[in-house]
Amino acid sequence: MTKAAALLLAGGLALTACASDEEPAADGGDTGGGAAADAPKIGLAFDTGGEGDRSFNDSAVAGVEAAIEANGGTVAKLSPNDDGSNRADLLTQLADQGYDPIIAVGFAYSDVIGDIAEQYPDVTFAQVDGAVEDAGSPENLTGLLFAEEEGSFLAGVAAATKTEADHVGFVGGVETPLIQKFQAGFEAGVEAVNPDIQVDSQYISPAGDFSGFNDPARGKIVAQGMYDAGADIVYHAAGGSGIGVFQAAAESGGRAIGVDSDQYQTVDDPALQAVIMTSMLKRVDNAVEQFIGNYVEGDVAGGENQRFDLESEGVGLSTSGGFIDDIQDDLDTYREQIISGDIEVPTTP
């Protein structure tokens, strides 16, 4: 992938901060020859799990790092507390300390980012996985949205084509409408190949409990139950909990499908790398990099959503490891049918 090196770098970082009265730690980059004051001072507020999840949050980090390399600037990174109750405080702290633009990572910011954006009308905000209308439609907010169901459909096609047991599984981090898009697309992709394949779908935590995105032990338990029941491939959309899914796959002699980042490239353990047959890429890195580039160019309209789908290569499947090279023609056929509208992928299970 074009940003594999950046994703590898992101996977190894672990800098986070908590909301406080102190200036958050900032990472700097080459200012590209311009004055420091002219370079973007980026604020990044993470989702549950923070930096180092080797998936969703780290993909956002990779996008910021690529943007700084291209445009100069600095970034401050903040992580929510365990229950996520300080999300508004994180955004307020970044705005008070002069960061602009500010990017919130994750749909859980939808309840607070609209009010914060209205309090700071001169600051540019973006939210990954958050629609502007859900936040009250402030004119200084951009929603960065993805067609997760489309990429997950291809993951389902890959699983259905590769399964030897006619039995696969899906592990979601938290039962929310967003993660249900992953489930719906995956199940539809499996059914398109062979409706007789059994699909087990289960969530680590219920709606409102975001711990399911950062609990590898529970992720392992859920996935292990699926492997024990006969599934040989499990797809996860569970953030940092996905490591537990990979561990269960390795111990069970099964295979797994990663999410968001190319997780074949981001895991450290070769035993886990060996079971990741592909990952459903959700190009948060591309979206974040593009947004910051537009900000630098003065080309952020605000008050609207940007959507990244199969056609724009905002979602797709990784090919690291070569495990799906032999079915690429089949995947391409389904991809074109989705783009053309011949296949309409559902967004709810």
Same domain, 180 and 288: no
Same domain, 135 and 190: no
Count structural domains, the chain: 2
Same domain, 110 and 82: yes
Same domain, 173 and 291: no
* Beta carbons of 317 and 161 less than 8 angstroms apart: no
Same domain, 202 and 323: yes
Residue 55 is predicted with a pLDDT of 87
Euclidean distance between CA atoms 281 and 154, whole angstroms: 11
The b-or-e profile of 123-133 (16+ CB within 10 A means b, else e) is bbbbbbbbbbe
What angle in degrees, to the nearest 10, is found between the helix axes of 148-162 and 177-193? 40
Question: 313 in a domain, yes or no?
Answer: no
Euclidean distance between CA atoms 343 and 328, whole angstroms: 18
Neighbouring C-beta atoms of residue 329, cutoff 10 Å: 7
* Beta carbons of 188 and 346 less than 8 angstroms apart: yes
- pLDDT tens digits, one per residue of 280-312: 999 999 999 999 999 999 999 899 999 999 999
Question: 349 in a domain, yes or no?
Answer: no
Neighbouring C-beta atoms of residue 183, cutoff 10 Å: 27
Residue 200 is predicted with a pLDDT of 98
In angstroms, how far is CA 72 from the centroid of its own chain?
24
Range of the domain at 112: 4-146+284-308
Residues of the chain with pLDDT under 50: 1-23, 29-37
- pLDDT tens digits, one per residue of 146-179: 999 999 999 999 999 999 999 999 999 999 999 9
Question: 347 in a domain, yes or no?
Answer: no
For 106-114, which contacts have Cβ atoms below 8 Å and span 24 or more sequence positions?
106/46, 106/47, 106/48, 106/56, 106/130, 107/176, 107/178, 108/47, 108/48, 108/80, 108/84, 108/210, 109/45, 110/134, 110/135, 111/87, 112/87, 112/88, 113/141, 114/138, 114/141
Residue 82 is predicted with a pLDDT of 86
* Beta carbons of 236 and 244 less than 8 angstroms apart: no
CATH number assigned to the domain comprising residue 153: 3.40.50.2300
Question: 276 in a domain, yes or no?
Answer: yes
Residue 24 is predicted with a pLDDT of 57
Same domain, 163 and 30: no
Residue 87 is predicted with a pLDDT of 97
pTM for the model stands at 0.85
Same domain, 185 and 133: no
Question: 138 in a domain, yes or no?
Answer: yes
Euclidean distance between CA atoms 299 and 322, whole angstroms: 39
Same domain, 181 and 324: yes
Euclidean distance between CA atoms 190 and 192, whole angstroms: 5
Residue 26 is predicted with a pLDDT of 53
From 129, 263, 260, 152, select the one nearest 199 (Cα to Cα).
152
Euclidean distance between CA atoms 147 and 18, whole angstroms: 31
What whole-number percentage of the chain has pLDDT above 70? 89
Same domain, 39 and 140: yes
Euclidean distance between CA atoms 134 and 328, whole angstroms: 37
Residue 8 is predicted with a pLDDT of 36
Same domain, 234 and 289: no
Question: 122 in a domain, yes or no?
Answer: yes
Euclidean distance between CA atoms 206 and 180, whole angstroms: 12
